[in-house]
Amino acid sequence: MSSFLLLKHISCRSFSTLPKKKMPVKTINIFCNSCKTKLYTYRKGGKGALVKCIEERIVKDFTNKDYKCPNCLKEFGRPFRLGKRNAIKFIGDRVYHRK
C-alpha cells in the first residue's frame, strides 16, 4: 500500500512540474540579410548560431508566413517538423539576429 502511494506521488509530481518548465526568456530580432527588414521577434533558447526557429516561440511575426522576406521576397527558410512542433530552418546566411 505504501509503495503504491509513493509511486502515485512521484508520478503526480513529475507530471505537474512538466508544464512549469521555463521557456527561454531572451528575445531576439531576426532580420533579412539582404534588405534588413525585420522578420521575427523570437524567444531564443540556448547559445550559438541561429539555424532554426520553433514557430511557437515566435513572439511577433512580420512575414506573410510564406518563409519569404515581405520586402525583397527572398526566401529565407524552409518549414519542417521538430517532433510535434512546426519549425523553420533558415537557409545559409539569409538572416541575421540582434538582441
Contact residues for Zn ion, defined by CB under 5 A: 32, 34-35, 37, 69, 71-72
The nearer residue to Zn ion, 60 or 85, going by C-beta atoms, is 60
The nearer residue to Zn ion, 10 or 35, going by C-beta atoms, is 35
Residues in the chain: 99
- What minimum distance in Å lies between the beta carbon of 69 and Zn ion? 3
Distances (CA, A) of 89 to 21, 94, 99: 24, 11, 20
Amino acid at 16: S
- What minimum distance in Å lies between the beta carbon of 37 and Zn ion? 5
- What minimum distance in Å lies between the beta carbon of 27 and Zn ion? 21
Rounded distance between C-alpha atoms, residue 55 and residue 17, angstroms: 23
